[in-house]
Amino acid sequence: MRAAHVTQYGDPDEALEIVSVDPPEPGPGEVRVDVEAVALNHLDVFARKGHPGDEGDFPKRSGCDIAGVVGAVGTQVDEERIGDEVVVYPGVSCGDCEFCEIGEQTMCAEYEIIGENRPGGLADSVTVPAETLEPKPEPLDFVTAAAVPVTFTTAWRMIVGAGELRPAETALILGASGGVGNAALQIAERLGATIYATTSSERKADLLEQWADEIIDYTDTPHDKAVLDLTDGRGVDLVAEHVGEETWQKSINSLAMGGRMVVCGATSGADPDIDIRSIYQHHRQIRGAPMGNRTQFRDVLSLVASGELTPQIDRVLPLSDIAEGHRAIENREVVGKVVLKP
C-alpha cells in the first residue's frame, strides 16, 4: 500500500515521501481501516518540523483525522464489522484509570494520539483499536466526516467544556478561518454568544460574516486594541487561544475583568513573554483545553450530521499532493480543512 512518511525534519518537499509498504495486519482488538479521507492538522506540520518532546525517530506517519471503511479485523473483534463506514476518535487510553473511568480519556497517563504517538492515517490503510471507531453518520460523506474529529472536538471542549461560554456572554475567537478557530466560531455562534473573530484577509472575512458579529483584521489593528475599542474598554468574557507566543499577551489584554482564556495550542511557539499582573490583578483565568473526550466527539459528530455545524473544506487533494497541503496550512492560506484522499 502507499503511505506518506515523514523521513526527516525539513520543508515539505524534502521531508515528505510517498512510499510503498506492506499493509498493516490488525492485532488482537484492532481493526484495519481502509482510509477514504484523512484531514491535516497543525500536528502534521509539527511532525515534520519537530516540536519539544518530539522524538524524531524517522520514518513516521501522521494523520489523526481518519474516515474510512473497516477492511479487516483482528482477534476479539466481531467479523460483522467488516464493511462498516467509520470515523476514528484519535485518542487511545488505558480504559480503567480514575480519568478513563469518568470518561476523560485525554487525562489518562497512557493517553496516545493516533497520528502522533502511533502511526496515523496518511496511507491506504491504518490499524487502530476497535474501540476508537464511531459509525460514520449516514448524511456525511467521508471528506466531511474526516474534517470533524480533532478540530471540532477540541473546539467543543474550548467553548462549551472548559470555556463554559454562555449565550449572554462575549467571546473572541482567534484565527477564525483556520480549522480549530472556525469550529470554535461556529460552536460559539450556535450558543448565541456575541462573537469577535480575527482573520487576516478580506477574502476570509467575507466567509466569517455568517457566524461572527464583528471581524477583526489583525494585520490592520492588534486584536486587543480592536476588542477594547469595540467593547468600550470592557473586553470579552472568553478568548479561544491557539496561536501562542505571538498573541498571548494581546489575548489576555482582550479579556474583561474575570474573563477566561482557553488554550488548546501554540502554533506560533509555546514560550510567551507575559506580564502575570495582567492575569491576577484582573481576576482572569487561563484554562487548558486539549482534544475533547469521547462524549464531546459524539456530540459534535451528531451536530455536524444534523447540519447545525458545517466543517469548511478548503481543498481536497490526492495523497501524493501532501506537500501542497502542508504548505497551505503553514502559510495560513487555508479557510477550513485540507483533506487528503489516499
154 with 183: CB under 8 angstroms? yes
Per CB under 5 A, does 313 bind Zn ion?
no
Residue 252 beta carbon to Zn ion: minimum distance, rounded to whole angstroms: 33
Q: What are phi and psi of 308, to 5 degrees?
A: -75, -30
Q: Which is nearer to Zn ion, 132 or 199 (CB)?
A: 132
Residues near Zn ion (CB under 5 A), total = 5
Per CB under 5 A, does 293 bind Zn ion?
no
172 with 185: CB under 8 angstroms? no
233 with 208: CB under 8 angstroms? no
Residue 63 beta carbon to Zn ion: minimum distance, rounded to whole angstroms: 24
Which letter does DSSP use for residue 157 in this model? I
138 with 83: CB under 8 angstroms? no
Per CB under 5 A, the segment of 6-14, 91-99, 189-197, 312-320 that binds Zn ion is 91-99
| Residue listed under C-alpha cell 451528531 | 302
Q: What are phi and psi of 172, to 5 degrees?
A: -110, 125
Alpha helix (H) residue ranges in 50-176? 98-101, 142-146, 149-156
Q: Which of 13, 19, 29, 94 binds Zn ion (CB under 5 A)?
A: 94
Q: Which of 61, 77, 92, 93 binds Zn ion (CB under 5 A)?
A: 93
Radius of gyration of the chain (CA): 20
Which H or E run contains 113?
Answer: strand 112-113
Residue-by-residue DSSP string for 302-342: HHHHTTSS---EEEEEEGGGHHHHHHHHHTT--SSEEEEE-
Per CB under 5 A, the segment of 100-108, 156-164, 272-280, 312-320 that binds Zn ion is 100-108
Per CB under 5 A, the segment of 21-29, 94-102, 185-193, 238-246 that binds Zn ion is 94-102
Write out the three cell numbers for 14: 524534502
Q: Which of 97, 274, 279, 317 binds Zn ion (CB under 5 A)?
A: 97
| Residue listed under C-alpha cell 525517530 | 57
319 with 122: CB under 8 angstroms? yes
Residue type, 59: P
Per CB under 5 A, the segment of 21-29, 39-47, 56-64, 93-101 that binds Zn ion is 93-101
Residue 227 beta carbon to Zn ion: minimum distance, rounded to whole angstroms: 39
Q: Which is nearer to Zn ion, 94 or 270 (CB)?
A: 94
Per-residue x/- track, 184-203, Zn ion (CB under 5 A)? --------------------
Per CB under 5 A, the segment of 6-14, 104-112, 136-144, 245-253 that binds Zn ion is 104-112
Residue 294 beta carbon to Zn ion: minimum distance, rounded to whole angstroms: 12
Q: Which of 100, 123, 230, 309 binds Zn ion (CB under 5 A)?
A: 100
Per-residue x/- track, 221-250, Zn ion (CB under 5 A)? ------------------------------
Residue-by-residue DSSP string for 202-264: HHHHHHHTTT-SEEEETTTS-HHHHHHHHTTT--EEEEEE-S-TTTHHHHHHTEEEEEEEEE-
Per CB under 5 A, does 108 bind Zn ion?
yes
Which H or E run contains 248?
Answer: helix 248-253
Write out the three cell numbers for 210: 455568517
Q: Which is nearer to Zn ion, 269 or 288 (CB)?
A: 288
Q: Which is nearer to Zn ion, 100 or 184 (CB)?
A: 100
323 with 317: CB under 8 angstroms? no
Which residue's Cβ lies closest to Zn ion? Answer: 108
The contact set with Zn ion (CB under 5 A) reads 93-94, 97, 100, 108
